Structures are given as structure tokens and as C-alpha cells.
Amino acid sequence: MSLDFLATDTTLIAQRRAQLRLELLARREVFACAPHFATSEAALLASLESVLQQLETQCLGLYWPIRGEFNASLLALKRHLSPDTTLALPFAQRAPLQMHYRVWDGAPTTVRDECGIPSVDASPIVPDVVLVPCVGFTRTGHRLGFGAGYFDRWMAAHPHVTAVGVAWSFCEITDEDLAPQPHDQALMVVVTEQGVVS
């Protein structure tokens, strides 16, 4: 197989993912404004509660919700966690392209990372469980994100960490649609408002 063919194949996959991303984000943003959004959010919270209780999390990596994502912040989850559970928020950097987690006490965020997402100015920490937002997901635990690769890079560097995907059920796609690549990191499980998917 020639390098030219591989490059073309990779380009086609990237284009297909970009189109999928646009379609799913549009659907998600409409869904976030729908009357039944609060009910779906409560159902997803209950699903996550069950999973997190089984994992006995010591340090939970959350994320700041954007563009119709489930709100996995302290306000939604703290009452379902052990009082001893440490919480953390990611901080993304553009140069070099990387992400790390910082301890979060649940207070209002004080800074924005280099992608403009709220975070905190606190000590770095490596969670034992992280919640990973998904634009799309497959039954085999692969995800479609925003395309920058922050979470994939972080998970590849921390293979011992349990990664729990968080998604809305209507964002399920097939492996054929996604065409998982070697750099794509599989999630341990994906949780939606309809329960555990993979």
C-alpha cells in the first residue's frame, strides 16, 4: 500500500469525521434547548451515579460543559460521591498541544485554559477516573470529540486511568462511520441517559 493512498485515506476519514461532528453538534444544541432536556440530564446523572459507585473513585476528573454537553460539574455530582473524593478540571494548552488536570474545590472557576474553557489555577493532579465528553460514540467504546486530540493524548499517556465516556444516546454512530484509527483511545465504558452502552 503506497504512502499516497494512506494519506488520501486519512484525509477522507478526517473529512467524514468533520461532517459527522457538525451534524451531531447541531443536533445536540437543539436538544439542549428542548423541554425534555432536564429529564434526560437527570437520567444520565443517575446512570453515572451507579457507575461511579462501582468504581470507588478517589480522584474524579470532570470537564466543563460546552455546546449541549451533559453538565458533569461538582454541582451535579458531588452529592453522589464520597466526601473524600477529590475533584479535578482539565486545563488545555495549545503549544505544546497537551492537557492536564488541576485540583478543583467546586468554587467558581477562576481562569480559562488556552482553548477558552473555564478551569482553575491550582495544583496538577492525575485522576484515577475521568469523565470524557463525547460528540459521538460507538458501541465498541470509541469516541468522536472536537478533533484536537486533547483527551486521546492524555489517555494514551495515562493508560492506567479509567476513562468513562459521557454522551447523549442519539449521538451513537457506527465503527464504520467513525473508522477508528490507531491513535484513537478506547473508553472503558460509555454512559448515556439510557444507561451504560459499552
| Cα–Cα distance for residue pair 49/60, rounded to 1 Å | 12
CATH of the domain at 30: 3.40.50.10420
pLDDT in tens, 46-93: 899 889 889 988 999 999 999 999 998 744 465 667 778 899 999 999
pLDDT in tens, 158-184: 999 999 999 999 999 999 999 888 888
Distances (CA, A) of 1 to 14, 32, 183: 19, 44, 20
Global confidence as pTM: 0.90
Average pLDDT on 130-157 reads 94
Kindly indicate the confidence band of residue 3, based on its pLDDT and cuts at 50, 70 and 90. Answer: very low
| Cα–Cα distance for residue pair 181/138, rounded to 1 Å | 13
Supply the range of the domain harboring residue 54. 3-196
Choose among 69, 70, 86, 89: nearest CA to 78: 86
| Cα–Cα distance for residue pair 130/153, rounded to 1 Å | 13
Give me the pLDDT at residue 65, please.
Answer: 92
Cα of 150 vs its chain's centroid, Å? 10
Tally of structural domains, the chain: 1
Average pLDDT on 21-29 reads 95
